[in-house]
Amino acid sequence: MPATELVAPRRLGWRTVEVIEIIAETSRVKSLVLNAPDWPGHRAGQHVDVRLTGEDGYQAQRSYSIASAPEAAHLAITVERVDDGEVSPYLAEEVRPGDRFELRGPIGGYFVWTAGMGGPLFLIAGGSGIAPLMAMLRHRAATRSTVPGRLVYSSRTAGDIIYRGELERLAAPGSGLEVTHTFTRSRPPGWRGEARRIDRAMLTSAGFRPSLRPSCCRCSL
């Protein structure tokens, strides 16, 4: 590309967003639905930077994956509380609807998926790493994509499954999506599924046959 056609990267500025809804996903995880004025849009898989400023001027900044589909009316991030963290305890425990903080994004272009990219789509997640993959699944549903999808999701216990009810709905019969859960600490009574960390054998079992090997595989562990 000639030098005259090169385009400088867009400089991202901070914007103030307002929390309009808080969704308790698990005992340690909450999703924050945000009103982000003049949001430029995003692709499923991108993330944002969040910045908090204390009364004394001290600032702390962390990155969070965008959990909402590009088609959603509002932006959403999902936060797992880290007990000794600077940002997550506030976002997961103290923030209330109407509170505001600064956000910058969207960021990242490699770890993304759009329905137009086709598939099959093979997603692998552990814990709160499900957030960017959930954006992809929500995008798949919003666009009524028929791309075959597989999700292998590792959680400590059944109570730690984030988006549990929504995943069940997205993977309803005829949806073209299959979800494989595995538990690393304890399993529900009568559980006959996987109960170990994700390994090669599990991925082979849950994946696509060789003729349908994914052209698009996303992993967030």
pLDDT given at position 115? 94
Asked if the domains at 14-107 and 115-220 fall in one CATH topology, the answer is: no
Q: How confident is the model at residue 210 (pLDDT cuts 50, 70, 90)?
A: low
Longest dimension (CA), the chain: 65
Tell me: pLDDT of 221 over 70.
Answer: no
Higher pLDDT, 32 or 208: 32
Quickly tell me which residue has 């924050």 as its tokens.
32
Give the pLDDT score at 11: 76
Separation of alpha carbons 182 and 184, rounded Å: 7
pLDDT in tens, 9-27: 467 899 999 999 999 999 9
> Does the N-terminal peptide bond of residue 120 adopt cis geometry, omega within 30 degrees of 0?
yes
**For range 135-149, the mean pLDDT:** 96
What tokens were used for 106? 């969207």
Spell out the residues 6+ positions from residue 128 whose beta carbon is closer than 8 angstroms to its own.
29, 78, 79, 80, 162
Structural domain boundaries in the chain:
14-107, 115-220
Q: Cα dihedral angle (5, 49, 74, 181), rounded to 10 degrees? A: 110
125 pLDDT above the threshold of 80: yes
Q: Would the pLDDT of 50 be above 90?
A: yes
User: 3-state DSSP helix/strand/coil percent for the chain, to nearest 5?
Assistant: 20, 35, 45
Question: What does the block give as tokens for 83?
Answer: 């007990």
Q: 7 falls in which pLDDT band (50, 70, 90)?
A: very low
Tell me the pLDDT tens digit for each residue of 174-207.
999 999 999 999 999 999 999 999 999 999 888 8
Average the pLDDT over 122-127 and give the result.
Answer: 95
- pLDDT > 60? residue 93: yes
pTM reported for the whole predicted model:
0.88
Does the structure show a pLDDT above 50 at 126? yes
The domain 14-107: what is its CATH number? Answer: 2.40.30.10
- The mean pLDDT of the chain is 91
% of residues, the chain, pLDDT over 70: 90
Name 215's Cβ contacts closer than 8 Å, sequence gap at least 6: 117, 118, 119, 120
Q: How far is CA 42 from the centre of its chain?
A: 13
Q: Could you identify the residue written with the tokens 């995008």?
A: 139
CATH of 115-220, one of 3.10.580.10, 3.40.50.80, 3.90.1140.10, 3.40.1160.10: 3.40.50.80
- Cβ burial, residue 149 (10 Å; 0-12/13-18/19+): buried
